[in-house]
């Protein structure tokens, strides 16, 4: 082949494998060599399996193809699962040293589906402790660095996945998103990251399958075609997760992209920007996103400034209640271990301790506020196909910082206030994608534009993203 194997996207690599132009063993060996060279500096992939075992599995995949059998489009491709998703036989630590010996007996739904599509799981991708905060570091595995500039943060909580994907240590990657964990690190790595509509990718199964579905797993990719294919693999109803649902369009759409990209002529995009000054943003962030909107406008889209139509500060307080209610039980389970309070990150303890005074009445009010916001957002979609805002409020910051204490001259009052731009799609259960928008003037730090569509309009959002992808050219 003319191009190095690691330069191919997952779809092209899959086609080469199935055409028998390259063997699964050759693909695995090439990726493992690259991981050996680059991962020690990035620290994106952790809990790696032995190379000999992986090459044996790759040889088995080759034998199956020789016999005319394929498991699916991921047949023989190396893959690493985010370390918040249970993967049988591998540690699932959530980046917590107290869970270092927590080896999963069973696969999560997502991990099982990725394996069933033919992927060979080589290990896990690094995360912040408990997935909290958009900076991937922990005391078990250490710090993950940005693939574009190792001096700055990779984001998170899917920071390991994004760094590995951007450095071509993986052909495609999975992640999860509660507060932008698929969108923020994708923005900082020049990648596509999709938070699906609530329930499209069932989360779990776990001890609670109703409220916990506010968080979701989803795909990361270097192309919209790959993004759509991985989403089609992850997605679909499972009876154990009652709020999950299936979209029959996704599988066929993945095969048709990029030819079936959505038309941009007449596309109506409402630009929230910084919510009329509510969101603190660093200089250049809005400019980079507006440059992406200019590309869309030149292709025929109509871009209009859009007032939020809701009280952003009141919604932030609603978000704090939801986040604490869902995070505190996970932290509490580990706090039961001896000496845990002294060994957990302070941000996790803060989430847990803040929730101790939370009663049902307060949570019910937060549920009602979330419902009101959904109705307000749906009203905005009466006149707009998409709503746009930055996928991150600041540029990647030095890896030595735990989190930005100040953004755009404003002090951040919590460890995650600087990620506020990601809560709107989450609270509405709406699909949101981060698409590459541009770079910092230094040329090293990418930024992403966040596009939000109506709930359950994931396929349409992907078609429009594919059309945008054709506009940006070779700098992806």
| Active-site amino acid positions | 82, 157, 181
In the numeric block, the tokens 């307080």 are attached to 317
CB contact at 8 A, 244 and 202: yes
DSSP state of 149: -
In 210-359, alpha helices (H): 224-234, 249-256, 285-298, 312-335, 340-343, 346-354
Can you tell me the distance from the alpha carbon of 212 to that of 42, in angstroms, rounded to the nearest whole number? 31
Can you tell me the distance from the alpha carbon of 447 to that of 442, in angstroms, rounded to the nearest whole number? 12
Buried b (16+ CB within 10 A) or exposed e, 200-220: bbbbbeeeebeebbbbbbbbb
Can you tell me the distance from the alpha carbon of 257 to that of 463, in angstroms, rounded to the nearest whole number? 8
Query: Crossing angle, helix 224-234 and helix 10-18, to 10 degrees?
Result: 80
CB contact at 8 A, 140 and 133: no
Q: Which of 53, 79, 54, 77 is nearest to 65 (CA)?
A: 77
In the numeric block, the tokens 């710090």 are attached to 143
DSSP state of 312: H
DSSP assignments along 56-124, one per residue: HHHHHHHHHHHTT----TTTT-EEEEETTS--TTSB--TT-GGGTT-B-SS--HHHHHHHHTT-EEEEE
DSSP assignments along 282-301, one per residue: -TTHHHHHHHHHHHHHHTT-
Q: Is the peptide bond before 205 cis (omega within 30 degrees of 0)?
A: yes
Q: Which of 9, 6, 35 is nearest to 230 (CA)?
A: 9
Question: Across the strands, what pairs with 177?
Answer: 216
CB contact at 8 A, 351 and 327: yes
Q: Which of 34, 28, 39, 27 is nearest to 160 (CA)?
A: 39
Structure tokens belonging to residue 262: 């959505």
Can you tell me the distance from the alpha carbon of 42 to that of 163, in angstroms, rounded to the nearest whole number? 7
């Amino acid at each position: 082949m003319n191009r190095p194997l690691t330069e191919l996207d997952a779809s092209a690599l899959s086609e080469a494998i199935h055409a028998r132009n390259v063997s699964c063993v050759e693909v695995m060996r090439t990726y493992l060599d690259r991981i050996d060279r680059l991962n020690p500096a990035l620290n994106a992939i952790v809990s790696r399996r032995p190379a000999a075992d992986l090459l044996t599995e790759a040889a088995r995949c080759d034998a199956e193809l020789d016999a005319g059998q394929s498991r699916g489009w991921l047949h023989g491709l190396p893959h690493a699962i985010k370390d918040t998703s249970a993967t049988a036989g591998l540690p699932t630590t959530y980046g917590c040293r107290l869970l270092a010996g927590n080896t999963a007996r069973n696969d999560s739904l997502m991990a099982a589906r990725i394996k069933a599509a033919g992927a060979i799981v080589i290990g896990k991708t690094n995360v912040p402790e408990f997935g909290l905060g958009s900076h991937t570091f922990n005391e078990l595995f250490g710090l993950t660095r940005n693939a574009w500039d190792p001096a700055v943060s990779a984001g998170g909580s899917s920071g390991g996945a994004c760094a590995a994907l951007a450095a071509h240590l993986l052909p495609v990657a999975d992640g999860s998103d509660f507060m932008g964990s698929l969108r923020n690190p994708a923005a900082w790595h020049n990648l596509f990251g999709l938070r699906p509509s609530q329930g499209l990718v069932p989360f779990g199964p776990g001890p609670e399958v109703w409220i916990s579905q506010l968080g979701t797993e989803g795909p990361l990719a270097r192309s919209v075609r790959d993004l759509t294919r991985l989403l089609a693999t992850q997605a679909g109803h499972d009876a154990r997760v009652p709020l999950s649902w299936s979209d029959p369009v996704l599988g066929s759409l993945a095969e048709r992209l990029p030819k079936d990209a959505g038309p941009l002529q007449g596309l109506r995009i409402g630009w929230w920007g910084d919510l009329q000054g509510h969101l603190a943003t660093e200089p250049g962030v809005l400019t980079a996103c507006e440059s992406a909107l200019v590309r869309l406008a030149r292709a025929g889209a109509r871009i209009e400034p859009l007032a939020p139509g809701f009280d952003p500060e009141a919604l932030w307080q609603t978000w704090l209640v939801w986040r604490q209610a869902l995070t505190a039980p996970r932290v509490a389970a580990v706090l039961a271990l001896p000496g845990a309070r002294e060994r957990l990150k302070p941000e996790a303890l803060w989430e847990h301790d803040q929730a101790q005074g939370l009663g049902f009445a307060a949570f019910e009010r937060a549920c009602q506020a979330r419902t009101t916001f959904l109705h307000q957002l749906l009203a905005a979609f009466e006149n707009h196909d998409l709503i746009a805002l930055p996928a991150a409020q600041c540029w990647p910051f030095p890896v030595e910082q735990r989190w930005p204490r100040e953004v755009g001259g404003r002090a951040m009052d919590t460890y995650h206030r600087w990620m506020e731009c990601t809560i709107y799609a989450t609270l509405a259960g709406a699909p949101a994608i981060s698409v590459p928008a541009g770079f910092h003037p230094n040329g090293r730090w990418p930024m992403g534009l966040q596009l939000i569509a109506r709930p359950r309009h994931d396929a349409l959002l992907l078609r429009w993203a594919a059309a945008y992808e054709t506009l940006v050219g070779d700098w992806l």
